[in-house]
Structure 1
């Protein structure tokens, strides 16, 4: 972990110097991003070594061991997805690429590999057409995680406060005006990013998704074996979970089709 240490600043009677130093501290606190560069565990080193050797089965065991200890990251899921792809386990490859993207929606490598894996699935389901504005809005909201949006919003609100403080304390007219209007601008941006965080959180709670693992499965009209058979799906297909009823789950496809599937043949993302 890269530790960022900020030294204590001694009080200086001059409020102007104090304000200047306060600005520096806040700026550093906001914009030095706490990346997680922890020393790789033995499991991670072993997994990477096995993967490089082409020993994907052993690499899988090591990556799974890391995840079992709640050491989750987009890179771990991405590597795990690659291992499954190499051994032609497409459902598990898709599942782990999706999990990688859930942690980091803009992971371009995971997006590309997911497209490659989806090309190897049987079901090709067209998505219902959406209004351009609605689709653009959803794409923007889901381009970052809820935590990312909240982080940006917090940074922007602090910047707005910083400029408002300069407006209140500075004497020069030009600086006061700049502080006031910049404060308004960053406050508006912070409200927008807070909205993004709220919208993303709402979408995440309303939309639970899963991957089908059975080679072939029949979707029923009701949650029982004797119900009408609606259509057939195959492994690797992603579905949206609507509700559960005992051993059954109600699912929805991108084309709007709805039905019931055995819960045992799907795995939640």
Structure 2
């Protein structure tokens, strides 16, 4: 029933939205979202209606008007998150970051939403070692970019200075700044070129019981069910059932209706 109501509201809002300009629709959606945050403490029912209105308006701009804008996806994700739909929020944060991989605000929103999910999937040993050794790769992308420019400029400045000086400290400092510049350059390139390459979708159903095979005749893959917001890589698509891999390397089969793909 809630899904039916949401669809009807989306249909009605789409008809109403055709009478407004895109800028007016966006402004109204942003206003509804802000009002919902203030109303949440005093009148949760009013807040819920306002969140749904903002969600429908953002969806209209994305789905009907075909806007591909990272901030628009981020706004939609924020509205879903505040409405209690963590799975759809994480899904759209990922979509926003695919359009703008170095956006620090969206990255922060995604990490916060991930921290609120029920399924905290542990990383495998290799990932833990890699994150420990290359700890700087988890830093804010803008911070890494700033450090790259700092060390890069320092390196070339020292190269120019070394033309007129044979001091040992100049050569050593030039070597260190060059290495640090290279390290941060590689880190940034990895973030930009391979961001989310292992995340193909997100569980959006409130609760899902994956199986060891593609059907209900197979046993449950895990002792406990998975919940909305759990991310995965797609291994195989058999229509009604999908073979997926979680971030810790665990694999299972899940119903197509329980998930949403990033594409």
TM exceeding 0.5: yes
User: Residue by residue, what CA displacement relative to the aligned partner does 1:50-81 show, whole Å, maximum 9, x if unpaired?
Assistant: 212322223223433555411113xx444323
After superposition, residues 1-269 of structure 1 pair within 5 angstroms as 42-54=24-36, 55-65=50-60, 67=62, 68-73=66-71, 76-97=72-93, 103=101, 104=103, 107-108=107-108, 110-116=110-116, 118=117, 121=118, 124-127=119-122, 130=125, 133-137=129-133, 140-145=136-141, 153=148, 156-168=151-163, 171=164, 173=165, 180-197=171-188, 199-200=190-191, 204=195, 207-224=198-215, 226-231=217-222, 233-247=225-239, 248-253=241-246, 256-269=249-262
Pairwise CA RMSD: 4.0
User: Residue by residue, what CA displacement relative to the aligned partner does 1:4-58 show, whole Å, maximum 9, x if unpaired?
Assistant: xxxxxxxxxxxxxxxxxxxxxxxxxxxxxxxxxxxx9555433221212322223
User: Residue by residue, what CA displacement relative to the aligned partner does 1:97-119 show, whole Å, maximum 9, x if unpaired?
Assistant: 55567744675455445434x2x
Q: Is the 8 A contact 1:239 1:251 kept in 2?
A: no
Q: CA deviation at 1:87?
A: 3.0
Cα gap change, 1:93 to 1:202, in 2 (>3 Å): closer
Q: Is the 8 A contact 2:114 2:229 kept in 1?
A: no
Rounded to whole Å, the distance in 1 between the matches of 2:221 and 2:88 is: 26
Q: CA deviation at 1:189?
A: 0.9
Rounded to whole Å, the distance in 1 between the matches of 2:150 and 2:238 is: 45
Q: Is the 8 A contact 2:32 2:54 kept in 1?
A: yes
**TM-score normalised per structure 1:** 0.60
Cα gap change, 1:148 to 1:262, in 2 (>3 Å): farther
Q: Gapped runs of 5+ residues in structure 1?
A: 1-39
Q: CA deviation at 1:236?
A: 0.7
Higher share of residues assigned helix: 2
Q: Is the 8 A contact 1:51 1:59 kept in 2?
A: yes
Q: Gapped runs of 5+ residues in structure 2?
A: 1-21, 37-49
Q: Secondary structure at the match of 2:210?
A: strand
Q: Is the 8 A contact 1:101 1:110 kept in 2?
A: no
Q: Is the 8 A contact 2:61 2:67 kept in 1?
A: yes
Cα gap change, 1:142 to 1:164, in 2 (>3 Å): same
- Which stretch of structure 1 is more off in the superposition, 248-257 or 198-207? 198-207
Rounded to whole Å, the distance in 1 between the matches of 2:137 and 2:161 is: 32
Q: Secondary structure at the match of 1:88?
A: coil
Task: Provide the aligned length of Structure 1 versus Structure 2.
Answer: 218
Q: Is the 8 A contact 2:202 2:259 kept in 1?
A: yes
**TM-score normalised per structure 2:** 0.61
